[in-house]
Amino acid sequence: MATSVGSTATLSGYSAGTGIDVQGTVDQILYAERAQERQWQAQQQTLADQRTALQDLQSKLASFEDSVNALKDYSGALGALTSTSSDSGVVTATADRTALAGIHSVTVDKLATTSSVYCDPLASASSTFTTTPLVLAIGGGPQVSINFDADHNTLQGAADFINSGDYGVTASVISDINGSRLALVSKQSGTAGDIQVVSGPPEMSFHVGTAAQDAALTVDGVSLVSSTNTLTGALQGVTLQLTGESAGRTVSVGVANDTDKAKQAIADFVSNYNTLIGAINSQFTYDEAKQSAGVLAGDASVRGMQSTLLSAMSYAVVGNPNLTTLRSVGVEMNDDGTLAVNEEVLDQNLATHFSDVKSFFQSTDINGFARSLGDTLDAMTDSTQGPLSLDLNGLDSTDKMLSQQIDDFEQRLTLRQQTLMDQYSKIDTTLRQFPTIQAQLTAQLGSLK
């Protein structure tokens, strides 16, 4: 037995006298009527896959932009300098981007030393002394009076008291088999930190541990004196660290462009570009196993991005003496649109034409490659008008529309389900009563014989 209630359905589980499977029958009808909803859900899954792919491209695009900005940055890898020393046991050097390339001669006659004094030994660190003030003069400056109290009249107490204040020295207790001594070390090296003990407790007689001395050196023939062994003003943009005396021997300090950092920055640019263009290309590659291309194969924005990036790699600067294209720098394009570093060419350019390499990427006069590409990427990565952002916003809008359609459809189906349940429940009741009615009719007919 079958019925039509807006749809044609088989009465699930029906047998004479037992009624029907109301829930199963209603589920069959609703499943058929949900065909449109399943299409919407399939569209939402496609949108989700597209969103994931677009977000992946966004991440790779951001990494690529970072590597382009590193080449564009005047204070970045192409502006980095490196320094060398022919004898690091005498002097080492570090250079910032304001330094000038060149070779400099350095002779270190004396290293700066830090003044220290110590007292005659007492029995132990807990030995007491008379709380007479300890008066110091640091570097010939005003006298400083250290007034100990009754809680700090031991050697260790005195050291703790000095270290808790600002007296221009640090204190410690040094012990051996002969006893314990209060030792003071100046907080400033050179003669400006020379410790002079003017007076002190009678139990303490102080002696010079290390005499204060300024560093004396010659840089490119100029005699210099420094209170510390770290000099920042001897050479522009260069910090010299004196590590030993050269006994009249000249040490060479060189400052040069950091070709290793520049090469790494270019390698990072190539790597991030290949990752990005590879991900884009894969969207338009037909997969025989899946019998389809990528989920973004029909996305015009992604296709446009592919075209823009490929075109950008052929950009040529005008006015750069030796280098005008990526290929001339040492970066070549493969047949699949990816890039490869020609290390022999790049190394030669970095060694002999570094300024031209830097100008190729950064020059404002000729609109360098990295500057031009950076402008293009700024437009691509714009959070509101960038093509990927616009695509993602469009997907979100479509997904919300489909979600609303599904919600509205489900509300209608809820009412539809209730109506069907009522109608098929009545049919079920009738079918279950049929054997009783049939028996009654048979009995009535029999009584008429």
- SS3 of the chain: the string is CEEECCCEEECCCCECCCECCHHHHHHHHHHHHCHHHHHHHHHHHHHHHHHHHHHHHHHHHHHHHHHHHHHHCCCCHHHCEEEEECCCCCEEEEECCCCCCEEEEEEEEECCECCEEEECCECCCCCECCCCCEEEEECCCCEEEECCCHHHCEHHHHHHHHHCCCCCEEEEEEEECCEEEEEEEECCCCHHHCEEEEECCCCCCEEEEECCECEEEEECCEEEEECCCEEEEEECCEEEEECCCCCCCCEEEEEEECHHHHHHHHHHHHHHHHHHHHHHHHHCCCECCCCECCCCCCCHHHHHHHHHHHHHCCCCCCCCCCCCCHHHHCEEECCCCCEEECHHHHHHHHHHCHHHHHHHHHCCCCCCHHHHHHHHHHHHCCCCCCHHHHHHHHHHHHHHHHHHHHHHHHHHHHHHHHHHHHHHHHHHHHHHHHHHHHHHHHHHHHHCC
Same domain, 267 and 332: yes
**Number of domains observed in the structure of the chain:** 4
Domain boundary pick from 381, 402, 426? 381
Same domain, 107 and 249: yes
* pLDDT value of position 426: 86
Which tens digits make up the pLDDT trace of 374-417? 999 999 999 889 999 999 899 899 989 999 998 988 899 889 88
Same domain, 102 and 243: yes
Which tens digits make up the pLDDT trace of 51-63? 999 999 999 999 9
Which tens digits make up the pLDDT trace of 205-256? 999 999 999 999 999 999 999 999 999 989 999 999 999 999 889 999 999 9
Domain boundary pick from 178, 193, 210? 210
Same domain, 264 and 352: yes
User: Where residue 373 falls among pLDDT bands split at 50, 70, 90?
Assistant: very high
**Residue 60 within a domain:** yes
Same domain, 345 and 272: yes
**Residue 38 within a domain:** no
Same domain, 395 and 372: no
Please tell me which of 152-166, 315-329, 421-435 the model is most confident about, judged by mean pLDDT.
Answer: 152-166
Domain boundary pick from 326, 353, 381? 381
- Tell me the pTM: 0.71
Same domain, 206 and 297: no
